Amino acid sequence: MITNQEKEAIIDFYLCHPSDGYRRCAYMMIDQDIAYVQPSSVYRVLSKAGVMRNRNAKESKKGTGFVQPLKAHEQWHSDITNITAGDTVYYLISILDGYSRSIIAWELRESMKVQDVNIVFQKAKELYPEARPRCISDNGSQYKCKEFSQFITRNEYSHTSTSPYYPQSNGKQERFHGSLKKECIRVNCPLSMADAKRLIGEYIEYYNTQRLHSSIYYIAPHDRLNGLTQQILDKRDQKLKLAKQKRMESNSIISMQPHFSKNTSMEGEVGGMRG
């Protein structure tokens, strides 16, 4: 049975993280050694306390997309999105590793020409020189032109375009852009390009190293990129088992303690008076 102290910790943690759902909070609490409780139990505690947030979840209309990669750097997804800072629109060009969901390279640019795209890919190449990924993008002219094709061929990469007029087929990048704008850009409203770069850099650092991703067992992207998935899952299981064992031992001790009924207590008092 979950203790009252654990219930209070769960509720306090959930209320202090308004942008995170109960599942992500459950794994965050395990990793941060706050409470060792399964997501289903966290849900019951929050529901009973009346603090569960309505996520307004909608059924996904996205397709199944590409065959999922089995290791890091098999697939790199690239896309461009508008970022407004002050009265000016800039262009965020980024590359996301399909296996780990980690953002491995990005730039905020004043234009979105093929030269700008190649600069970001060059950064990714310098960071991961041994990688030979399948690069996935939409049908933008930057990704369809000769210069980008030459870059792909020269570095022994391959390139695949998504279905026309169907951005969901590059859904991993679309989801990252949605999270970035919802959790960072719209909240902070950058006023300049420098301000936007700083905010995006801080968010990507948080996204890669701290934010638990629901599509990869609620593990931070960089941890998965670095091959730590099984280690983290095993550590969580161990913490949950130890916590369950301690609760069982605590309940066993309580059940073994003598319980005196009200009648027994009164009989003792009467006996004492007669004596």
CB-neighbour burial class of residue 156 (10 A; exposed 0-12, middle 13-18, buried 19+): exposed
Q: What is the pLDDT of residue 166?
A: 61
Our separate counts of H helices and E strands in the chain read 12, 5
Half-sphere exposure of 8 (CA within 13 A, CB side): 3
How far is the C-alpha of 172 from the C-alpha of 241, rounded, in Å?
33
Per-residue DSSP letter, 221: H
Per-residue pLDDT of the chain (275 residues; tens, 9 = 90+): 788 888 989 999 998 888 889 999 999 999 999 999 999 999 999 999 888 888 664 544 444 556 789 999 999 999 999 999 999 999 999 999 999 999 999 999 999 999 999 999 999 999 999 999 999 999 999 999 999 999 999 999 999 998 776 656 688 999 999 999 999 999 999 999 999 999 999 999 999 999 999 999 999 999 999 999 999 999 999 999 999 898 888 877 766 766 655 555 545 554 554 44
List, in sequence order, the alpha helices (H) in 19-163.
22-31, 39-49, 114-127, 141-144, 146-154
Tell which residue, 125, 153, 108, 128, has the closest CA to residue 145.
153
- Please give the model's pTM, rounded to 2 decimal places: 0.81
Tell which residue, 231, 21, 204, 189, has the closest CA to residue 123.
204
Strand, coil or helix: 123: helix
